[in-house]
Amino acid sequence: MNLILLGPPGAGKGTQAQRLEQAHGLVQLSTGDMLRAAVASGRALAQQAKQVMDSGDLMPDDIMRQIIAEQIDGINSGFILDGFPRTEVQAEALDDILQKKGLSIDAVIEIRVDEAALTDRVVGRFTCAQCGAGYHDSFHRPVVEGLCDRCGGSEFLRRSDDTAEAVRTRLHAYRRQTAPILPYYRKRGILKGVDGMEDIDNVTRQIEAVLAHI
């Protein structure tokens, strides 16, 4: 099973992708995580990626196509694309890559959210550096301050693009460049919407209901 998760920043794509990965033995392919790893390791792309990501703009399509082509080449199981494609050019490039490998996308899940809620959801979020569990300053603090509920880790990470200003640009990029790819998948009958304003477990249940019918 190969899936795409679509939705604006803060919709919960990463959280749901992690859950699907565990429940269905899929591999999460998060282009944002790949770029953050490149930035952290200081590899060739690091400087450009850091600048672009911190501003909230998108990286160039040809770089993203190369990154995702390499990743898809290296896996033998089903996958969940989280953060790719983000433009019409990327959607077409993905079809090309998949076609060459005799693969296809089974479902594109759009996590729909009220835009007014997004800035509050994104600004203030942090994750455990050890296990990746997600938290939020206002909505979900660890039970014991400073310790991860899941693994007891005491180090936490915040994304440098989770600022109000970068979120504005990221939302703008979503509306202008990513939302226009929805009709591309709707026409094929593989676009499925879920209500991302529900709590995390209910969003997972909605996605599972979609997957039960593909």
Beta bridge partner(s), residue 65: none
Residue in 19, 36, 50, 86 annotated catalytic: 86
Q: Please indicate whether residue 170 is annotated as part of the active site.
A: yes
**Tally of residues, the chain:** 214
The answer to the question of residue 7 lying near ligand AMP (CB under 6 A) is no
Residues 11-40 that bind ligand AMP (CB under 6 A): 31-32, 35
Q: 26 and 78 in contact (C-beta within 8 Å)? A: yes
Contacts of 144 (CB under 8 A, 6+ apart): none
Helices of type H across 107-153 = 115-122
Q: Please indicate whether residue 50 is annotated as part of the active site.
A: no
Nearer to ligand AMP, 71 or 206 (CB): 71
Stretch that binds ligand AMP, among 40-48, 49-57, 131-139, 145-153 (CB under 6 A): 49-57
Q: Which residues of 91-120 are buried (b: 16+ CB within 10 A; e: fewer)?
A: bebbeebeeeeeeebebbbbbebeeeebbe
Q: Please indicate whether residue 125 is annotated as part of the active site.
A: yes
Nearer to ligand AMP, 164 or 209 (CB): 164
Count of residues interacting with ligand AMP (CB under 6 A): 17
Q: 2 and 79 in contact (C-beta within 8 Å)? A: yes
Please select the residue that binds ligand AMP; options are 19, 50, 125, 170, rule is CB under 6 A. 170
Nearer to ligand AMP, 170 or 192 (CB): 170
Q: Which residues are catalytic, by number?
A: 13, 86, 125, 159, 170
